[in-house]
């Protein structure tokens, strides 16, 4: 008996959690698709329910969720969405998490501590995820926690393009808020036109989260426009102290550029009162009106996410989007 011939076809379907629907809609617009309709609600006791309103059998599914406050609820919602897709026979499930939850817990500082970033990867693998797409991980080693492909996208180009367009003629020095991000500062310096770099030497007590002491500036910043870079701003304490240290060292001005604007209280108050000329973040996390302030610029990563999703769907190269550095 001869085998029956079929006509394989690929369908891209986009799904969104409830945390940051605006970003998902923007991504959908760039992809020229619509977000798959779904029923999602929370029961009185806090349990979550998700059901998709269309067949997903054989589809290439991309599930977008922003892990903002309440972070545990939105992690669970995305896990449930992945489980629903797996049980509905989706062919491939890609979890799109612009901000990787628990990324700061990527190693043990002391005994009897968890490595929660690894736990997150294990949870999504168990739920049925085939692939993870994320933006600017806290540490690159997290890519190895997931047993499958991880597309590590970089928002540096989005942020750097804004810096070049706005401050391209200024005498810029790229500043890392600590010694651990000097390598990233070097990449920034190269992208901004071979600029000099500096870093803040600081200490941090592992028993006191969200607290850091800026000790001294290493590098020449006097009279310079300092572009202070980081992957996230949570309460804003570290970045504000670094800004103060730079200005005390004679910096002409400070521009803060970061990917993830978590902006937990009292970040908005701290940043609005600090003397930085501009604070630039992306929309990897939702930033409601009450957290916005004069001097805050929010750039969209939706075009970058959409292009990466298109490359994954077409079995193309995500690395090529970042000049081979992704």
User: For residues 268 and 235, what is the distance between their CA atoms, to the nearest angstrom?
Assistant: 8
Beta strands across the sheet bearing 60-64? 12-16, 60-64, 92-97, 131-135, 150-153
Rg (CA), the chain: 21
**CA dist 126 to 88, 192, 204, Å?**
16, 41, 35
Nearest to 276 by CA among 298, 249, 299, 247: 247
Q: Which entry of 108, 110, 202, 208 is annotated as an active-site residue?
A: 202
Q: Can 208 be counted among the known catalytic residues? A: no
User: For residues 128 and 188, what is the distance between their CA atoms, to the nearest angstrom?
Assistant: 36
| DSSP H or E segment with residue 259 | strand 253-261
CB 130 within 8 A of CB 92: yes
For 231, residues 6+ apart whose C-beta sits below 8 A from its C-beta are 136, 137, 138, 181, 258, 259, 260
Count Cβ atoms below 10 Å from residue 250 Cβ, excluding itself: 12
Query: Per the omega criterion (within 30 degrees of 0), is the bond before 70 cis?
Result: yes
Residue 79, classed as helix, strand or coil, is helix
Q: Would you tell me the crossing angle of helices 71-87 and 116-127 to the nearest 10 degrees?
A: 30
Active site residues: 202
């Amino acid at each position: 008996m001869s085998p029956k011939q079929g006509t394989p076809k690929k369908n891209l379907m986009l799904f969104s959690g409830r945390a940051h629907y605006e970003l998902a809609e923007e991504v959908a617009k760039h992809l020229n698709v619509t977000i798959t309709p779904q029923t999602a609600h929370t029961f009185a006791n806090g349990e979550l329910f998700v059901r998709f309103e269309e067949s997903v059998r054989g589809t290439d599914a991309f599930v977008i969720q922003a892990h903002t406050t309440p972070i545990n609820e939105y992690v669970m919602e995305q896990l449930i969405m992945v489980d629903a897709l797996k049980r509905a026979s989706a062919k491939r499930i890609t979890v799109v998490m612009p901000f990787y939850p628990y990324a700061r817990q990527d190693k043990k500082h002391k005994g009897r501590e968890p490595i929660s970033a690894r736990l997150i990867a294990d949870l999504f693998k168990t739920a049925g995820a085939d692939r993870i797409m994320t933006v600017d991980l806290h540490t690159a080693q997290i890519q190895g926690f997931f047993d499958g492909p991880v597309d590590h996208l970089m928002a540096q180009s989005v942020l750097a393009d804004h810096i070049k367009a706005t401050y391209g003629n200024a005498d810029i020095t790229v500043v890392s808020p600590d010694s651990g991000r000097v390598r990233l500062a070097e990449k920034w310096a190269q992208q901004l036109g071979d600029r000099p770099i500096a870093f803040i030497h600081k200490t941090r007590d592992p028993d006191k989260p969200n607290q850091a002491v800026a000790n001294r500036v290493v590098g020449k910043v006097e009279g310079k426009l300092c572009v202070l870079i980081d992957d996230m701003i949570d309460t804003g304490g570290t970045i504000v102290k670094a800004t103060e240290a730079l200005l005390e060292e004679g910096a002409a001005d400070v521009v803060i550029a970061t990917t993830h604007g978590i902006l937990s209280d009292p970040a908005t108050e701290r940043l609005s009162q600090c003397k930085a000329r501009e604070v630039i973040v992306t929309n990897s996390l939702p930033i409601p009106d009450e957290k916005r302030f004069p001097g805050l610029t929010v750039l969209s990563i939706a075009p970058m996410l959409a292009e990466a999703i298109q490359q994954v769907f077409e079995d193309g190269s995500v690395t090529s989007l970042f000049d081979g550095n992704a």
